[in-house]
Structure 1
């Protein structure tokens, strides 16, 4: 009798063991631990959408890579502008460069979430690959935008904490800078891009949000008139002195044609003559995400205060 019972017990034990193992995923996680299968509803600007509660493989098609990375979420595909940013290279070394035209390449990356601007193409095709959320640039301010992405990634608390801390640091730096340069001193943000000069308003990256919105530094009247509403204004090198403030943040690419800096028109601008032009790498200054904003704030603090 004992010889019969023991094999039965052994078989029953093996069955239980097999059932237990089948409840685990291939990577050893149980279904309750496999967070990428959990979904939540995100209220996007286009209506409610089901997205992963804990995304693990995100594709960012425009602008928001720094927001996603700052919240500790993995990116597997990213836009060319983010990929070429020297300050993002280490974090994005394993991410593939993609665009809204690379449908097959994006599909091969097996993303669980796709993020981009409202201007991205092929949205219907992208939605078939993974939940796709788009944002209209400028619809909300740059800090609210980060909080929105925090909500999307189920990290609203972390996003709000960073925003509160950043505002405090930026506003304190602004007070220190105004105390040194004078409350009426003006600052311009100018960029040389593709053989064209641009001056920027208060919400077009390149540090404009920090300088004008948080630090409350003054914008030259000509810049306010021509660039504030649209966000930017294209100008010729001949009229550049009209748009240059007491201080100039000059965004350039060292490999581009910067011959305008050799002209007498440029050299005679007061900010140039007084050594008040702070030249920055446009590839590093382009965005207004937390990683870039922290870098910009540190740069402005050091250069304005000679630290």
Structure 2
């Protein structure tokens, strides 16, 4: 009897151990399923709800204006257009990224993106939507900081985007107060771009540092700039009439192709120029208003206005 009992006891113990392991495995699987993020989430785009990756890993950027937003949030980018590559501020993050265009549908397909970000005016949108979830934004439909938060929401990093916005606004506001303390509350700044033998002055929301200077730092523009450039964002002009638009300081971005205008008496005799109140930058680094570009612009302005 004892000989029969021992094998039965061993079998019983094996069965109980197996059941315990199964229960443990089931519990672990259940806990894992409740903590794992969903593969896709619904994003409320300007064109309605769209299923997008919860954590995109291969993003194609068909609109250069938003490239810096995505890069600043450390989201992997596999394709961008040539305008974005022109900014030296993005160089390190884009060194291994393919250059594509809105006309290169096959090139985008070969990159196997899991998310495409484009402008509402991008060509071939319907074809791109067949490749991957495609989100479009209309330029200036949102202000530049709200746009960053919105892109953060798209890529699952809304809180991180909002934290940066709050911090940037505080630092830029303080910088503006410091500039006014040194140069007066009514100090004016004119933002000029010289590019491909063309010249323009800018309002308060067209990149080139305008958002930082006018919106966040709270510095003023001249009446002439407000009259001609504020509504449309920019106003093309010639160097001959530039003195009518120039403020106490000039922020000048250019491509370096032809700087002969700097040798003219008209330019040299502008008070801001003769006093050395000109802050210069490479035009390609000044186009955009994403966090990477904005951080560069803010530091340039702090150095230029305050001599730091």
Normalised TM-score (structure 1): 0.88
- CA–CA distance in structure 2, aligned partners of residues 118 and 129 of structure 1: 17
SS at match of 2:103: coil
Matched, 1:220 2:193: no
Q: Deviation at 1:58?
A: 0.3
The aligned counterpart of 2:291 is 290
Matched, 1:154 2:140: no
What CA RMSD, in Å, does the superposition of the two structures yield over aligned residues? 2.0
Q: Deviation at 1:268?
A: 0.9
SS at match of 1:90: helix
Cα deviations by residue, 1:74-133 (Å, 9 ceiling, x for unpaired): 000011111121111110011111110010001000000011211111000010111111
The aligned counterpart of 2:196 is 194
Larger radius of gyration: 2
Taking a change above 3 Å as real, the CA distance of residues 210 and 240 of structure 1, as seen in their structure-2 partners, is same
- CA–CA distance in structure 1, aligned partners of residues 35 and 116 of structure 2: 23
The aligned counterpart of 1:275 is 276
Q: 1:173 aligns with which of 171, 175, 180?
A: 175
Taking a change above 3 Å as real, the CA distance of residues 130 and 33 of structure 1, as seen in their structure-2 partners, is farther
Q: Deviation at 1:282?
A: 1.0
The aligned counterpart of 1:15 is none
Q: Deviation at 1:34?
A: 9.3
Aligned residues: 280
The aligned counterpart of 2:117 is 115
- CA–CA distance in structure 2, aligned partners of residues 283 and 196 of structure 1: 14
- CA–CA distance in structure 2, aligned partners of residues 31 and 208 of structure 1: 48
Normalised TM-score (structure 2): 0.87
User: Is the helix fraction higher in 1 or 2?
Assistant: 2
The aligned counterpart of 1:163 is 165
- CA–CA distance in structure 1, aligned partners of residues 117 and 187 of structure 2: 39
The aligned counterpart of 1:264 is 265
Which 4+ runs in 1 deviate beyond 3 A? Answer: 30-35
Q: 2:196–2:255: 8 Å Cα contact kept in structure 1?
A: no
Q: Deviation at 1:31?
A: 9.9
Q: Deviation at 1:263?
A: 1.0
Matched, 1:43 2:44: yes
Aligned runs of 1:1-307 on 2, under 5 Å?
38-62=39-63, 63-254=65-256, 256-307=257-308
The aligned counterpart of 1:7 is none
- CA–CA distance in structure 2, aligned partners of residues 154 and 129 of structure 1: 21
Taking a change above 3 Å as real, the CA distance of residues 104 and 34 of structure 1, as seen in their structure-2 partners, is farther
The aligned counterpart of 2:13 is none
